[in-house]
Each structure stands twice: as C-alpha cells, then as structure tokens.
Structure 1
C-alpha cells in the first residue's frame, strides 16, 4: 500500500486478519488507534447508538471536559496579559525598562513558546495528555509568581522565556483533547465554548486589575498582580492533574459501554482517537502537505494583531485619556464582546449549510478591519468613537476559533495531527513575537504602524482562508469522482490511525 505522502488507498492491508468487522490498519494492530482496544471482540454489536443515549453521553462529556478547558483558558489569557496590567502599575519605572525592553518582554514569552512547541507536542503524544497539561499549568503559575521577585530586565526576560515554554502545550493540548472527545460536527461549538473564556479572561483580568490596583500593601501593585494570578493558576493546575481524563478509551467517569459509544461516534469522521506510537512517515507526510503550510500562514496572520493588542491594548485605551483604574475596567466590555462574538460565530455556523466555515472566518474578520481603519482615521479627540473601534478589533478571536476547528477537522493520523498542531502554533508564535514590534513607543498612543499591521494581516488572512477552501473543496470532488459507483467501507478505515491523505474515505470540511 502506498503511504500518505505518495497516494491514496481505497482498501487497507490487514483487514481480513482483524475480524469480521474489518478493523484493519496499515501497520498492524500496534499501529492502530487506541480505540481498537475497545473493539477486540468481533461478536460485540456496533453501529449507530440510540440517539437519546448519545445525547446523554455528550452532555456527560460536556460537563466533565468543557469546564476544565474553559477555566484553564481563562487563566491562560489572564496570565498572558498580566504584563500589560503590570505596565499600568509601574513595572517599567520600577525595573528601569527603556526603549524596546517592554516590546522584548512581550515577545520573549513567545520565543520560549516557539522553542518548546515541537518537543511539547511530541511529549503529548507519548504521555497522558490530561496529566501533562496539569503539570504545565502548575508551572505557569509558579513561574508567574517568581516574576514578582524580578529586579531588572534580564531576570524578568529569563522568566518570560520559561513561562512561554510552559504554556506551549496549552492550545495544542486543548485541540487534541477536543478532537478526542468530539466529532468534527461538534468541534466548532465546543472550541467556541472553551475559547470564549478568552474574553472572560480579558474581562476577569480587567476586574482583577482594578481590585489589585486598590491594594495598599508593602509591595508594588504590579507584584501583587503576578503573585495573586500565579497562585490561582498553580491551584488550577493541581485540579486539572487530578480530575481531567486523558482519553475516552481510559476515562474512569464513563462506563465501558459509554466508552465504546464515545469512540463509535468517530467512525464517520475517519479521524481516530489517539495513538501513542510515533510514526515517521506521518511526520514526512505533514511536511509534504500544502494545507499544513496554509495553517502556518494563518497562524501568523491571525496573531500579529493578537500580539500587539494583547500587550498594548491597555496602553491604547489609556491614550484615550482615561485614568489607570478606569482603563482596567474598560477591558471588561471588550472581553465580554469577544466572548459573545465567539459564541455567535460558532452557533450561527452550526445552523448554516455544511462547509460554511471558511466564509464565516471572512465574516468575522471584517469587523476587525473596520475597527482598525477607524483607529487609524478617527481623530484622537473623539475618545468614545475610538474606543468603539478598539472594541471592534475583538471578533478576530471568533475567526481563529473556526480556523482551529478547520485544522483539527481536516487532519487524520495521530502523529500527523500532533505535527500539524505544532506547525500552526509555530505560526502563532511568530505572529505574537512580531506583533509587539509594530507598536513603536514614539508612536503611542495612536500606534499607526501597529494598526496598519493589523489591517494588512487580516486582509492576508481572508486571502489564505479562501485559497484553503478552494484546495479542500477540489480534493473532495476528486475523491468523490474516484469512488463514484462504489460503496465506501468506513469500518475498514475508521480506527486504523490512517492519515487523511492515505484514507480515501476521508472527506475534508471547509
């Protein structure tokens, strides 16, 4: 059989040997998906589950998985913006930050993220993902608390790099977990639900910042910011380690029948659940796949604006001549607007005809372009209108949610998923590293170059997503024509840990 880098195979070697249902793999039982462990007895019934039982199962999964991811993502964003609030509370003066020091502190976090992106993704394939994520979340908070002890730029820069490395597993882990527990149809809403906590993190960060700003203690306010948020993050890491299940195959909160049902839902998706065997051919295939590079470019284009806004947003608002504490409060409606945008995006997408996701990405990038043009063109004296335009730069988060759902929904083969996740988040790092450097200190508070970079990147994002849609649509038509007149044997390829390239039964979503 040809591997995924060179062609497609409508049938999978080894099907006959695996039993009457045809659970075969291209590499034998050891190369199969972890889900195979639940289907060793050929006499066990399989097929469509009772709809009522399936709805009850999904609700049970939702109650376990989504709160863990949502709270974690809320802390994830609060953690990343802590430096922005520390800037309001005087860290630049206390640590004698000059010139581009603050820009570098914003970007160095993502250098650590970039350095550890591939190793952490490979470790996630080998280790229990829930436990690994919990340990890293604990480290986020521990390193954040240590930043309160910094005396100069060098010490803070060092800890920022380590913090970025600790957080490198976050988004890829959330995506792997979502792909293990939810079908491709269910993924956009679930990603939207945990990613909406991003907005709650912005709002919660503003509220925490306001409260911390009123602490009159022996330490500077920015030190309390690091200590309090760091302690909360570490506590949540312990909770995640103890309670977040690693996989549907081994989940203790499900009965054996529920575990089989949870896995059975993925038969039509042809994406599998999990595989702990690193497969070099899937790594090669990932780097020979054009869509992987498009996701890398989308990671950059989506996150150059994010890198700037997340670190300079509070300074932009303060430039509207609001006080420091009012500036922290004005981040709350911005965060709520982001959360509502994400939820509106995923729920509207769920009710549209199939394969509308790329068009929804474009629709939710348009407000950002409009808001950026407003910040560039509306005179500084019109504070309220400029504040509204700043708020309009938030819905790019909703567009990025659908980009994440496109990535995890269009890649099969566990090793290939891991590599593609890492590649997208390399783009994420590059964008977040570059973003702050477009915001020149001498251009504040209007930051014309920074706002221009936002417009350029969002326009590039529109072009890239439409190219991706064309490629995926064309490949589906080619496969439909290839299988025209023949019946697709989904059982033969459902849990073989095949890649999307080598599995001719796989269909892309766009």
Structure 2
C-alpha cells in the first residue's frame, strides 16, 4: 500500500462562500479555524490530480516525520538516563536508598503532571513548532544539570523541572499529527514517530555501552547526563528553526499546496488550528465521558511503562549479565518494540475501517504472555525470562492505536488540547505509580511489579472494549437523527467551524 496519499477526486467540489468577517489574517480567526484564511479570496482548488496529492503528502511526510521521530527517540533516551545511571553507580555515589531511587523515577512525572494543562493551553496560544523546540532545548539543559547534583534533594528538584519541560512533547506530537494528516493516515504516522520509542531504547543501549567505556575525570553516570542532555538541547534548536507551525503558515509549501494540504483535511471535521481559547470547550471536555476514558487508558497503559522503563535494566542485570552487557541487551527490546508498532499500524490499515480497538487489544496479548512468563518461569531459565521481558514491549503498539483513536475522535481545538492534556495526566499518574510496585526486597524478580502490569493490562482491555461499543452506538444514534435531513453543503460548512465533536452532528467517531 502507498501510505503517501489517499484517493482524491480529480475536481474539488464547490465550497460555500466564506464570510470575510470571520477572517482577520492568516493566523487569527474570530470564531472558526485558521484554515479559513486560506480560502478568504473565494478561490477553489480545481483539477486536483491524485499524483499531485501524493507528491504533497510525501513532501509533508519528509518535513514532519523526521523531526518528530528524532525528537521522540531522544524523549525516550532521556527517560532511561536514570536507569543507565543506576547501573553506572549513581546510587552508590549519591548514597541513594532503594526507596529514594523509586522516588527519583517518579518525581519526574510530578513536574509533568503539574505543568500538563498549562503547557497545552500555551501550545494553543503560541506557534506549535517554536514552543516545542524551546521546551526540548530546556529539557536537554536540565538533563545536563543533573550531572552536577550532589545529593538526592538536588537531583529531585532538577528532575521535577525536567518533567515540566517535557510535558508538552507528546501532546504537541499528537496536535501536529492531527493538523497535517487525515484521520485515515493518522495511525500510520503516529506509529512511525512512535516507533522511534523503540529506536530510542536501542540507541540508548548503544550510547549507554559507549558512555560506559569512557574513562575520564568524571563518573560514567555524569557523562550519561551530559552527553544525552547536550544532544537533546541541540535538537531543540533545530526544531525551533526548521519545523513548520501549521500547514496554514508553512514556508515549505506554496500557496496552492497550503490550500490543498488543508482541503484534504475537510472530511476530518476536526479543523486545523484555532488560537482562541474557548472556555465552553474546556467545560465540555471535562464533562465528556470520552475524555475520562482516555485519562484512564493513559493511567492503565503506563503503570507498566513506569516500572519497566526505570527497572528494566535492573531486571536484565538480575539475569546475571555484566553492567555493559546489560546496556547492550536493551537493543533487542527496542527493536522488538519498533517492529510491533509497525506491524500494528500496518494491520490496522489493511483491515476495514473501525477496527482500531480490536487491533489495540490484540497487541496487548504478547505483553500479557510475557508478564505471566516473568511470574511463573523459574529464575534458573534465564533465556526464557529474557524472552518474556522482551515480549512486554508490545504494549507500546497498543498505546499507538489508542493515541490515534483520540486524535480522530476529538474536535474543537481547545477541546483537543484539553483532552491531550488529560490522557497525559493519566500517563503521568501511571508512570508515578509504576516504580513503587517494584520493591527492592523483591529484586531481581519484582513479582509485585509484574503483577501490577498484568492487572493494568486487563483494565486497559476492558476500557478499550467499552470505548468501541459506546462510539459505535453514538454513530448509529447520529445516523438515525440525520437520516433524510443532510443537505450536501452541511459537511463543508462544519469542517472548519471549530465545532466540537458533540456540537457537530456531521462528525462520525472512529473506533
């Protein structure tokens, strides 16, 4: 399948006239979407050939996906620096107890948690690319400063600030994906940049091994923070300079390409961008059951992540490997995660529409199998336990599908940023709680931690099943309401009106 484009009619349909009072200038709109400004001259796109659309989407792919993918790789490497610092001696050098190490794993997400809602509102207010780049630079800077910590308290403060700097990253990636791609294309694109999660684990293993070879004036764990922090900060500067903020203002696109990039999103019924914070959409988000389901999915999906990302190296080291070999053994784990994500989005794309929930559940099953294996396979069977550990990486593929369900099913720009914040509040809570299930006196088996993963997975499966049933029911209800009363122009008028999914009866949910 060619993922660069979808079928496009040779002639774009006539659109209703745009009322110029709705438009001020290209990045500000009174009530509707910023995309309206592109059509303020009343010009329509004519004779749009499928080959032209494919070229445009490929151009967008090459512009957007490398930035997000590299950033996401650093994002995960950053999260695992403490895990590698643990095997390089930070616990001994700073006199950290097992409980203090667990707290250091969690306090990062307290900063994330506190700043999640404010940073999402700032994402709406400021240019997305510039704001994302600044935050990436800051998280790299604060990661470097962690090398200067002298005790538990100093390291705690720096990790809280680092968490706040990273709070915008995942929501920004989701917002960017929804601004540039159709709902059909979003799962594959989310899968492609999220695959860098696995690449980050593998690259983190290589960097960890290389840093472990350094014999300098500083302990190895300090080089871990300094080198990875410097790389993150440099990439933040690159993003600030080169990543476009939206298809409406992208300098890499011609005037016609901007219109075509926006026109292909019309059927999404979710718009592109609106810089006006709308309190009514904030209230609707907090009263919408879907938003709370996404929060619970973020929580249940990341209790396992919170434990594995911080204790994974310690679990592997418990199999009897040396410190440097432990770092290298993370590489197959990262490769497996990447493969599972790519397979999941490919399978989803090959199936008929509205099977995302089914695929999400399907890719939780290897994770459950691996977790049960870690519980019951004897510790003497190191190869079998290592394979089971690797299988736990499949939950990442399910979370990619969950993110694509969110981006496809929430409309209204303010409501989108609130919902993005809410799922990552759940992600934060899960990552905060996860490490505390891994008790030092249970090392290296961590039986309670593994059982927390199993229970979380079953809760996640139940939530996904509920989401599928409820969204399908709502679509049937809307079809019944609109049967025989759907003028042709309705969908065109609502596409860029910045209506929420509840306000817009033309909106259909994807599940």
Offset of 1:25 from its aligned partner? 12
- Aligned residue for 1:301? 300
Offset of 1:157 from its aligned partner? 0.3
Contact 1:47 1:264 in 2 (8 A): no
Offset of 1:48 from its aligned partner? 8.0
Tell me, in whole angstroms, the C-alpha distance in 2 between the residues paired with 1:235 and 1:429. Answer: 26
- Aligned residue for 1:249? 248
Cα 1:231/1:246, change in 2 over 3 Å: same
Cα 1:396/1:333, change in 2 over 3 Å: same
Tell me, in whole angstroms, the C-alpha distance in 2 between the residues paired with 1:20 and 1:319. Answer: 64
Tell me, in whole angstroms, the C-alpha distance in 2 between the residues paired with 1:206 and 1:496. Answer: 47
Offset of 1:23 from its aligned partner? 4.7
Offset of 1:388 from its aligned partner? 0.2
Contact 1:24 1:493 in 2 (8 A): no
Tell me, in whole angstroms, the C-alpha distance in 2 between the residues paired with 1:161 and 1:154. Answer: 11
Q: Which has the higher contact order (CA 8 A, sep 6+)?
A: 1
Q: Do structure 1's residue 229 and structure 2's residue 219 form an aligned pair?
A: no
- Aligned residue for 2:379? 380
Tell me, in whole angstroms, the C-alpha distance in 1 between the residues paired with 2:360 and 2:22. Answer: 37
Offset of 1:288 from its aligned partner? 1.1
Q: Indicate the SS of the match to 1:393.
A: helix
Count of paired positions: 491
Offset of 1:46 from its aligned partner? 3.9
- Aligned residue for 1:506? 507
Cα 1:351/1:24, change in 2 over 3 Å: farther
Q: Show the 5 A alignment for 1:75-86.
A: 75-86=74-85
Deviations 1:222-255 (A, max 9, x none): 0000010001001101100000000000000000
Cα 1:24/1:382, change in 2 over 3 Å: farther
Offset of 1:371 from its aligned partner? 0.3
Contact 2:306 2:433 in 1 (8 A): yes
Cα 1:321/1:26, change in 2 over 3 Å: farther
Deviations 1:362-409 (A, max 9, x none): 000010011000000001000000000000000100000010000011
- Aligned residue for 1:425? 424
- Aligned residue for 2:52? 53
Cα 1:48/1:418, change in 2 over 3 Å: farther
Uncovered stretches (5+) of structure 2, i.e. residues with no partner: 1-13, 24-28
- Aligned residue for 1:10? none
Uncovered stretches (5+) of structure 1, i.e. residues with no partner: 1-18
Offset of 1:45 from its aligned partner? 1.6
Offset of 1:485 from its aligned partner? 1.9
Q: Show the 5 A alignment for 1:270-349.
A: 270-349=269-348
- Aligned residue for 2:31? 31
Tell me, in whole angstroms, the C-alpha distance in 2 between the residues paired with 1:422 and 1:233. Answer: 23
Offset of 1:26 from its aligned partner? 13
Cα 1:477/1:20, change in 2 over 3 Å: closer
Q: Using structure 2 for the length normalisation, give the TM-score.
A: 0.94
Contact 2:18 2:40 in 1 (8 A): no
Deviations 1:118-138 (A, max 9, x none): 000000000001000000100
Contact 2:15 2:44 in 1 (8 A): no
Contact 1:24 1:492 in 2 (8 A): no
Cα 1:336/1:252, change in 2 over 3 Å: same
Q: Using structure 1 for the length normalisation, give the TM-score.
A: 0.95
Deviations 1:73-92 (A, max 9, x none): 00000001000000000000
- Aligned residue for 1:460? 459
Offset of 1:267 from its aligned partner? 1.0
Question: Quick one: which of 2, 6, 16 aligns to 1:21?
Answer: 16
Tell me, in whole angstroms, the C-alpha distance in 2 between the residues paired with 1:84 and 1:410. Answer: 36
Q: Show the 5 A alignment for 1:104-115.
A: 104-115=103-114
